[in-house]
Amino acid sequence: MKDRPRWIIIGMFALAVSVSSAAAQQPHVSKEFWSLYKARFLNGSGRIVDNANGDISHSEGQGYGLLLSFLADNPADFEQIWSFTRTELLVRDDGLAAWKWDPAATPHVTDSNNATDGDILIAYALALAGSSWHRLDYVEQAVRIANSLLSHTVVGVKGQTVLLPATAGFGAGEREDAPVINPSYWIFEALPVMALLAPSDDWAKLSEDGLALLRVSQFGPRRLPSEWESLAHKPKPAAGFPQEFGYNAVRIPLYLMRANIYDRDLLTRLSQGMTDEGGTLSTIDLETGRTKEPLSDPGYQIINHVIGCVLNGTKLPASVQQFEPILYYPSTLQLLALAFVRERHPECL
């Protein structure tokens, strides 16, 4: 960013301060809960450890760690996580992050392709932290990432603007059913901030078209979106991937709500579709509608409770307000959900 005039960066810096509504929720992750989270998942090098996946680290986890440490108002932890992310993952020429870092492998980066949702999370957290803590260097880096995302992963398809999951492997000429997208990669709350960092009408179109895709993606008896979808013709589950509403997809309702998208029909359909007969949020086989795996961790279960809060004013049960982190991913979702409710719907606590 050295060739970008400083006044432009300062202008973006000022604009980022003004987007509290776009950032949707600058809620608080409690000091206690953040301490529990980092004791479990943040090691001394600054990497967030995915302890359910061979203790690897990935750009998604680093992005979540940055966002949560910002929401906990902990600049020191944020800088530690950013230091690892910057030195170990930002090794590509385009300014995006390599998605996978394995402590058991040499070299540690075992796949240099990016994961677009991880890059969005990193840029989003850098922009929020930079604007709040007066760190121009954070905003400069967020600008670079956002511009690269816009150039390499935001694409037009038959009049729609969509998000490629990575720069390689999912676009035209790379698969017969291309493009292939992952609906859970739309981090709706971050897209207005991306538009400030890398000005383009494509960001607003990306948000609008992503929401439209969720409304029409109704596969199988439970009418759920697929984890991976082909848009070559009309949306359908992509070939070569499990035909499921899986671990990634369960966060879709949370992302919608954190962006203040309270679409009753959509949220109700998602909630009913991903809940098994016993009332437990689950992964779902799209073809049969059968439960593949119940997800009993409070970090998963809280999502349905937050939907109930948003749509009906139902209070969250004590079981999901307590935080006892065990696994990285549901623990992350739980803190994001609690932070949202504390800021936007404290009446549900």
Query: Which residues are marked as active site?
Result: 60, 117
Reference 271, options 236, 237, 306; nearest CA is 306
Angle CA(17)–CA(20)–CA(25) in degrees, nearest 5? 135
Report helix angle 136-152 to 6-17, nearest 10: 90
Strands 109-111, 100-101: pairing is antiparallel
Q: Is the peptide bond before 107 cis (omega within 30 degrees of 0)?
A: yes
- Taking a C-beta distance cutoff of 8 angstroms, is the pair 203, 162 a contact? no
* Ramachandran angles phi, psi of 52, nearest 5°: -100, 5
Under DSSP, is residue 19 helix (H, G, I), strand (E, B) or coil?
coil
Under DSSP, is residue 249 helix (H, G, I), strand (E, B) or coil?
helix
CA 292 to chain CA centroid, nearest Å: 23
* Ramachandran angles phi, psi of 138, nearest 5°: -65, -45
Alpha helix (H) ranges present in the chain? 6-17, 31-41, 59-71, 75-84, 116-133, 136-152, 191-197, 202-216, 252-258, 264-273, 298-312, 318-321, 328-344
Distance CA 61, CA 100 (A): 10
Spell out the residues 6+ positions from residue 95 whose beta carbon is closer than 8 angstroms to its own: 144, 145, 147, 148
Q: What is the DSSP string of 22-73?
A: TS-------HHHHHHHHHHHB-TTSPBPBTTTTTBEEHHHHHHHHHHHHHTT
Q: What is the DSSP string of 226-246?
A: -SSEE-SSS-EEPTTS--EE-
